[in-house]
Structure 1
Amino acid sequence: MRAIFLDKDGTLIENVPHNVNPELIALTWLAGPALQLFQQMGYALFVVSNQPGIAHGCFTEASLETVRHRLAELLAQYGVSLNGFYYCPHSADGMVAPYATQCACRKPEPGMLRRAAQEHGIDLARSWMIGDILDDVEAGMRAGCRTALIDNGNETHWHLSALRTPHVIAPDLHAAAQRIALLDEVAAGRRREAGGS
């Protein structure tokens, strides 16, 4: 199985800090059609999201169920469903035990992607991590994925390195989906040529 790993806030839904109010949850520009395209290409869809607001006492883990349910409602309008929803509740400077800790799942660490891969049989080398900051890119690179950055202004510290240089940069999720589709077509063409020679 190959997958698209999606950051939630600022990538899949509009970035409203520490929001768990379903009335304020809205998909980003053309996110629904983007996920439709990914599903048509045969990708499974997973959210991987840092949620340090839990460690800081802004909301509880249970509150994220409301978010997940609302997200499912919004995506259902496009005939799209998520295959998994992973989040990291930790923050080293948090105030709520036991969430106030270092962990292996908070992006840019790759723990959420690796856990999803183990639980769902995902081929990380054939998968993509898409997010709106370079920590998302680094998490994807550390997991062995290809990566796409949504350049919507949310990344403000452009400290590039081998692990923080995305394969694709796009202005929105739908543009990223189109570019990934094109890259898939090119790769498929090369495989056909190799098989025919």
Structure 2
Amino acid sequence: MLVSDKAVFLDRDGVINIDTGYVSHSDDFEFIEGVIEACQKIKDMGYQLIVITNQSGIARGYFSEDDFMTLTEWMDWSFADKGVELDGIYYCPHHPEKGIGQYKQVCECRKPAPGMINSAKEFLKLDLEQSYLVGDKLSDIQAGKAAGIGTNILVRTGKPITVEGEELADHVIESLQDVISLLK
């Protein structure tokens, strides 16, 4: 099968799973209703599916990178068990003010910076103008715009939508399930 050069980028907490704050173990991870089915449809439509997530809980010392990787592997297998292959998972473990040790830094990967998106673009040879980003807060949309993603969408399943976020986003939808009707 020919791999597409278009993608749907998904933030994790608030888009894929219920954001209960610094989710770091599978016991605390609850998929938002309809997410798996929406991801199946996105893949069926020929899009690559990429997760991009800030994980300042690592920087703050709330959980380790190993904890994050274990949860990420569990999430990835949960998708795979339902026939959804994630094409990439990118994360930022840094925080510019609240980080500890090596994790306290200004970086190019922490959204609103476009580093994670640019890394995926290079590695997966993506056409960002034909791609979509789905996030739940302003920094997600800012990262998508900075990277040149064609369509940037906010969902109401995570953080409360701000006026600034609503103005910057191309669309505001209820949940990831609603993104299907926007894909070309």
Q: Please give the TM-score of this superposition, normalised by the length of structure 2.
A: 0.91
The answer to whether residue 112 in structure 2 is matched with residue 108 in structure 1 is yes
Q: Is the 8 A contact 2:111 2:143 kept in 1?
A: yes
Alignment of 1:81-120 (within 5 A): 81-120=85-124
Displacement of 1:25 in angstroms is 1.1
Q: 1:129 to 1:27 in 2, by over 3 A?
A: same
In structure 2, stretches of 5+ residues that fail to align are none
69-78 or 47-56: bigger deviation: 69-78
Please give the alpha-carbon distance, in whole angstroms, between the structure 1 residues aligned to 2:20 and 2:177. Answer: 20
In structure 1, stretches of 5+ residues that fail to align are 185-197
Please give the alpha-carbon distance, in whole angstroms, between the structure 2 residues aligned to 1:135 and 1:166. Answer: 11
Displacement of 1:49 in angstroms is 0.2
Please give the alpha-carbon distance, in whole angstroms, between the structure 2 residues aligned to 1:91 and 1:16. Answer: 19
Structure-2 residue corresponding to 1:151: 156
Displacement of 1:178 in angstroms is 2.5
Identity of aligned residues (%): 31
Q: How many residues align?
A: 179
The answer to whether residue 137 in structure 2 is matched with residue 133 in structure 1 is yes
The answer to whether residue 174 in structure 2 is matched with residue 175 in structure 1 is no
Displacement of 1:153 in angstroms is 5.6
RMSD, matched Cα: 1.6
Q: 1:95 to 1:169 in 2, by over 3 A?
A: closer
Displacement of 1:151 in angstroms is 2.0
Post-superposition Cα deviations, 1:9-53, rounded to whole Å, max 9, x if no partner, equal 010111121121112212112001110111011111111000011
Post-superposition Cα deviations, 1:63-90, rounded to whole Å, max 9, x if no partner, equal 1111112212321242101111100111
**Whose Rg is larger?**
1
Q: Is the 8 A contact 2:36 2:82 kept in 1?
A: yes
